[in-house]
Amino acid sequence: MPRRRVSAGPGWAMQHLTRRQWGWAGYFLSRVSARPTRCILSVKWVLRSRWVRAMHVSCLSKKSAIPLEAPPIEGGWHAVDAIDALAKLGSAHSGLSHAEAEQRLATGGPNVLPHPNRVGPLAIFLRQFASPLIYLLVFAGVLSLAIGDRWDALFIFGVLLSNALVGSYQEFKADAGARALRDLVPQVARVRRDGMIQEIPAVEVVAGDIVELESGMKVTADLRLVDTHGLHIDESSLTGESMPVLKDAALVLDAETVAGDRRNIAHAGTIVVEGRGSGVVAATGGATLLAGIGSMLSDSARSAVETPLVRRMARLARRIALATVSLILVLALLLALQGEGWRDIVLLAIALAVAAIPEGLPIAVTVALSAAASRMADRNVIVRALPAVEGLGSCTLIATDKTGTLTLNRLTVNRVMLPDGTAVNRDQWLDGSRRKILAEIGSAAAICNEAHLTDTGSPVGDAVDIALLDLAHETGNDPEELLGIERLAIVPYEPVAKFAAVEADLPDGSRLVVKGAPETVLAMCSDLPDDALELAEQIARDGYRVLVLADARSSCSSGPISSRLHGLRLLGFVGLSDPLRFGVVEAIAKCREAGISVRMITGDHPTTALAIARQLGLEERDEHVITGSDLARLQEGSQSFIEAVGKAEIFARIEPAQKLAIVTALQRSGHIVAVTGDGVNDGPALHAADIGVAMGKGGTDVARAASDLVIADDNFATILAGIEEGRVTFLNIRKIVIFMLATGLAEILMFIAALSAGLPMPLTPVQLLWLNLVTNGLQDVTLGFGKGEGDELRQVPRSKLSALIDRDALVLMLPGTLVMTLVAVWMMAEHLAAGESVDEARNAVLFLVVIFQNAFLLSVRNLHLPFWRWHPPENGWLFAGLSMALLLHLAAQQLPLTQHLLGVSPIGIDVAMQSLAAALAVLLATEAAKWWLGRRAPAPANGTLLME
């Protein structure tokens, strides 16, 4: 087909150029007006250039994807007859003409999914400064510049810049879910134009086109099918239905029919696995069901609930900022009433802001999360968003997809029922006296089979036939040999007939094998047991798809197969299902032990979903199963809707929009929700959940891009490892916060006590920054490398509102903090009374606080066990950080540059001994608080302090 030409003229420019594009156009127009003779050829070249053509397509893509003459009809295209659909779409079986297709493309736009708006790097960088603590530090930095303290300002702005760079790096891993959706639309489509079949780029498909479908093809747009011949389409990634869906163009369905049951519609992005057919395009681009999921994904991305850690950190930041501002205002007012100069008041405000704000907290938390992410990667959990590391440990409920998550998404024969009613499971194929009859059933399954083997031995064909080949191999047969047997006659499977038959040429005669639906094949058999149909129903009730195998042997072929389909011998009933993943039953049981509820959300039929739930050990009562139709009768977001969702354990026949509503309802019930999934239909729910967990191997790009975590081995059981690491991470972050706030609080109390006693400020702003960012910073990050206490999965989940700092944490912090304050003020007064300068007194206090930090770190590394039971191999980084902080400060006392910058000098032996004695007092005070907390609320066996 020749390339479509784009006409470009003033009318087109006025209609399609955006404001930014008009900036370029205006430049050229101005050049034309100035020098028309020289520029006319340049303008003509520009208007015909590839850039303008691409711009034209880009502009068209922003318009509605359905032409004005073919609007969506009331009730949906599945609710009208195929002939009526053709008429309403202005099409015919011969397809559109080229001219009509060109017109519709110009009117309705190309068949592309809407492009999501991306946040630029500058916006991401500036967003890192949106925090109350950052505002305070910016204000302190500006005040420092105003009064001429350039070194203070340099330190403060350096801290702000480093924090912003770390945060920006994390946010650059922004979600690409909506962009990944476009990859599901194929590049080429086979359409009927002017009565001829031809291939065109998928972007040029328009409403009214007749699209041809064959096995292996992806569907290019939403089609109202007009012709089908054994057409089976895999919709698992879109609707969650695990089995390929048999399509029937002749059906006219109710308007309320959910997407998973619309058997006369082929949706964009799905795959044809068997048969052939054709359909008229009813929706393209942004009007397809696939794009609808994309828009939900974009909306949920904008409104997604933040992770529990982010909420807790934000709450902590607001409280620190409010307390700091209040304290500064009170002290500034008191100093002003006492007649202090404005410069001294400003210096105090800067010092208090620096002391109160834990500048290194964002970096320390990031390091803790990164260390946990590394440990998770070793356990097959890939972290896409660092806050999700801790969030998974906080979850109280896992809403999991079935297909591809709990199951393998691979059809398998798991049970065979013999004519005498004996049920044989897969692990018993080769056992005992049934081995011969099972081998015979397996050989029949390979003979009546339309699959084939590739050069590498991999089976290719329908999912049922591939499963039957596996059965043949597992029962001791050679599939390659059986497939190589000459076929004397074949009756291929047709949905209307509901059976297939093959006559094979064997050395001792011929063998006629029939497979199909129980009600069809059993009617062809003789000498049936009385309960034959009941046996088939029994397997179906257990969640299996049932096929019947029967055969007949003769010395030679005698006439057409159709005349011999009677008097067959029943071989047995074959039960096919999507098998459970290894270890998933045990994982669900352990989730319950950990206080985590598991809910299953699937597009499967309720009977199938309930059967799988029973295998998984989930709730088995029918009243705990709710369907998409049940939810559709309730108002989304209403109290009755939330209550219905809260009671249900299993959700069946659920549409993508309903999955998102279910997650939202569970969150409104107070749950911290982790959602697992692998399909396109899971994308919005994954994004809206507190924690989205996608499958790495079998998952779609959409699911992975919409998630916070990716399970590399697609094993639900791996989520448990992530939950354990998440709970360890919360404990580590809690220790970091306790350590930083305790040392910061001690610094503030030192200022208040010193000023109350009429002493100068005990430390300068630069010295405070040195403590908070360097010596403190080298130590607090090491707490993030802790590996847990061992019983994390036996503890109940934390509530959504549980704080990082609560009453027990304050009890742990205050004794050591008070000792630090009293000793520091005493030392300041003693050195000044001895005739030393203010700088010399501050030098001694600064060293004292560094030693305080060392001692407090040793105590809070475990929130229950005493510090003397510390084993360095458990967290060797902690000992290294402690030593490095002390050595770094000792070095700073010796180097001229840091001596001048910090106002420090080498200390005497008396100061060192006083500091060590005071550090021991801090250690004993903190250990006494731990002992008292342990007596008041006994800790678990492993010694973890539960501070909730």
pLDDT at 777 over 80: no
**Tokens describing residue 653:** 């026949």
pLDDT at 6 over 70: no
The pLDDT assigned to 324 comes to 76
Highest mean pLDDT among 6-20, 73-87, 506-520, 775-789: 506-520
Residues 718-739 pLDDT 10s: 888 888 888 888 888 888 888 8
pLDDT at 904 over 70: yes
The least confident of 158-167, 316-325, 648-657, 660-669 is 158-167
Annotation says 690 is catalytic: no
The pLDDT assigned to 46 comes to 35
The pLDDT assigned to 152 comes to 65
The pLDDT assigned to 172 comes to 55
Residues 175-188 pLDDT 10s: 444 344 444 444 67
CB 390 within 8 A of CB 229: no
Residues 844-872 pLDDT 10s: 999 999 998 888 888 888 777 777 765 55
3-state secondary structure of 527: coil
pLDDT at 422 over 80: yes
The band of 210, judged by pLDDT with boundaries at 50, 70 and 90, is very high
Highest mean pLDDT among 273-282, 529-538, 546-555: 546-555
Query: Which own/partner pairs from 939-946 qualify as long-range (CB within 8 Å, at least 24 positions apart)?
Result: 939/864, 940/789, 940/791, 940/794, 940/795, 941/791, 942/789, 942/790, 942/791, 943/789, 943/862, 943/864, 943/865, 944/731, 944/789, 944/791, 944/792, 944/795, 944/863, 944/864, 945/808, 945/863, 945/864, 946/795
Residues 612-639 pLDDT 10s: 888 888 866 666 789 888 898 888 888 9
The band of 897, judged by pLDDT with boundaries at 50, 70 and 90, is confident
What whole-number distance in Å separates Cα of residue 573 and Cα of residue 437? Answer: 12
The pLDDT assigned to 660 comes to 86
Angle subtended at Cα 469 by Cα 466 and Cα 475, rounded to the nearest 5 degrees: 145
3-state secondary structure of 348: helix
Query: What is 358-376+726-936's CATH number?
Result: 1.20.1110.10
**Tokens describing residue 872:** 């360095």
Kindly list the distances between the CA atom of residue 179 and the CA atoms of 294, 297, 394, in Å, as whole numbers in the listed order.
9, 11, 30
pLDDT at 511 over 90: yes
* Mean pLDDT over each residue of the chain, to the nearest integer: 77
Residues 645-685 pLDDT 10s: 988 889 988 877 788 899 999 999 888 899 987 776 677 78
The least confident of 58-67, 443-452, 598-607 is 58-67
What whole-number distance in Å separates Cα of residue 236 and Cα of residue 160? Answer: 47
Of residues 149, 175, 209, 401, which has the active-site annotation? 401
Domain with CATH 3.40.50.1000 in the chain: 381-408+582-714
**In sequence order, what are the residues at sequence separation of 6 or more whose Cβ sits closer than 8 angstroms to the Cβ of residue 904?**
767, 843, 846, 892, 893, 898
The pLDDT assigned to 748 comes to 83
3-state secondary structure of 273: strand
CB atoms within 10 A of CB 695: 27
**Tokens describing residue 458:** 């991999």
The pLDDT assigned to 803 comes to 61
pLDDT at 209 over 90: yes
What whole-number distance in Å separates Cα of residue 491 and Cα of residue 499? Answer: 8
Residues 876-888 pLDDT 10s: 777 888 888 889 8
The pLDDT assigned to 180 comes to 45
- Indicate the burial class of 436 (C-beta count within 10 angstroms; 0-12, 13-18, 19 or more): exposed
Q: For the chain, what percent of residues have pLDDT higher than 70?
A: 77
What whole-number distance in Å separates Cα of residue 832 and Cα of residue 818? Answer: 21
CATH 3.40.50.1000 describes domain 381-408+582-714: yes
**Region 504-512: what's the mean pLDDT?**
90
The DSSP H or E segment spanning 230 is: strand 222-234
Give 292 or 24, the one with higher predicted confidence: 292
What whole-number distance in Å separates Cα of residue 947 and Cα of residue 860? Answer: 13
Residues 328-385 pLDDT 10s: 788 778 777 767 777 777 777 776 776 666 766 766 777 777 788 788 888 888 877 6
**Region 82-86: what's the mean pLDDT?**
90
The pLDDT assigned to 872 comes to 52
What whole-number distance in Å separates Cα of residue 511 and Cα of residue 554? Answer: 7
Second-level CATH architecture of 434-574: 3-Layer(aba) Sandwich (3.40)
What whole-number distance in Å separates Cα of residue 361 and Cα of residue 696? Answer: 32
Give 216 or 524, the one with higher predicted confidence: 524
What whole-number distance in Å separates Cα of residue 685 and Cα of residue 651? Answer: 14
Domain with CATH 3.40.1110.10 in the chain: 434-574
pLDDT at 468 over 90: yes
Residues 230-282 pLDDT 10s: 888 888 767 766 667 889 999 999 888 877 788 999 998 888 877 889 999 99
